[in-house]
Amino acid sequence: MYWGKNMGVNLDFLQDMGLDTQEGISFTGNPEKYISAIVRFYGNYEKNRDKVNEYLGAGDIENYMITVHALKSNAKMIGAMELSKRFEALETAARNGDKAVMDNDTPATMDAYKKLIDSLEPLGAMGDVKAADEISGDEARDLSDKLLEALDEFDDELSKELIAKLEGYPFRITQMEKLKQAKACINDFLYDDAADLIKEIMPAIE
């Protein structure tokens, strides 16, 4: 389902619940993509909650760290800066192998996560939404393949056209930064470097 400008959402509502909407929009690109990111954040809650609890309970520190790292980025992307900092602290604890901190601090962080999700329920009711210029995973994979071909052939004009379209995919912050780097490489005629960055990004396309 596609929604129009701002998707009919008053951003003050989000600001009042503690989200930094300006930061969120700066990360996602525009208000429509911002709202789309929030709806995805809401929809992924149960899956992510179960992963964190499963990995913590099993002592699977590596997968726990990967999951809280993703949650740190996802929270930051929607402007939930305090929650992002909480997940970052858990990521640091996992990286240091500090099981005591993980055991002690994970419940409170997950409670804060649940509290935010409950606040976002009105947006969650919107269902599966996309910004008007947002592309699907299938489209992004197809564009990536075509972009790699264009880069291999040193086709500057086509490469710039394809990477501009690829920006329509809702990448996470890390992948978005790499996409920006790839775009800069194309502008500097560094096609091999751009191709390497695109190959790093592609596994994140769902």
Claim to verify: residue 76 and residue 144 sit in the same structural domain: no
CA gap 121, 51 in Å, rounded: 21
Claim to verify: residue 86 and residue 20 sit in the same structural domain: yes
Q: Say if 130 falls within a structural domain.
A: no
The last residue of a domain, from among 102, 124, 146: 124
**Band of pLDDT at residue 135, cut at 50, 70 and 90:** confident
pLDDT in tens, 5-19: 444 556 777 888 889
> How big is the chain, counted in residues?
206
Count structural domains, the chain.
Answer: 2
Q: What average pLDDT score do residues 73-100 get?
A: 95
Range of the domain at 152: 137-204
Q: What average pLDDT score do residues 106-127 get?
A: 88
CA gap 21, 10 in Å, rounded: 11
Tokens of 150: 């264009």
Claim to verify: residue 20 and residue 110 sit in the same structural domain: yes
Claim to verify: residue 68 and residue 153 sit in the same structural domain: no
The region of weakest confidence among 42-46, 130-134, 166-170 is 130-134
Q: How many CB atoms lie within 10 A of CB 42?
A: 20
| DSSP letter assigned to residue 5 | G
pLDDT value at position 2? Answer: 36
Claim to verify: residue 73 and residue 145 sit in the same structural domain: no
pLDDT value at position 5? Answer: 43
Q: Say if 129 falls within a structural domain.
A: no
**Band of pLDDT at residue 152, cut at 50, 70 and 90:** very high
In the predicted model, what is the mean pLDDT of the chain? 87
Q: What average pLDDT score do residues 95-111 get?
A: 96
pLDDT value at position 8? Answer: 53
Claim to verify: residue 43 and residue 103 sit in the same structural domain: yes
Q: Say if 20 falls within a structural domain.
A: yes
Bridge partners, residue 2, by sequence: 130
Claim to verify: residue 112 and residue 188 sit in the same structural domain: no
pLDDT value at position 132? Answer: 57
pLDDT value at position 82? Answer: 96
Claim to verify: residue 89 and residue 184 sit in the same structural domain: no
Q: What is the CATH number of the domain that holds 111?
A: 1.20.120
**Band of pLDDT at residue 1, cut at 50, 70 and 90:** very low
The end-to-end CA distance of the chain, in Å, is 18
pLDDT in tens, 31-51: 888 888 898 899 889 999 999
Which is more confident, 129 or 156?
A: 156
Residue 198: pLDDT above 90?
Answer: yes
pLDDT value at position 122? Answer: 82
Claim to verify: residue 10 and residue 101 sit in the same structural domain: yes
Backbone angles phi and psi of 130, in degrees to 5: -135, 150
| DSSP letter assigned to residue 132 | T
Claim to verify: residue 165 and residue 87 sit in the same structural domain: no
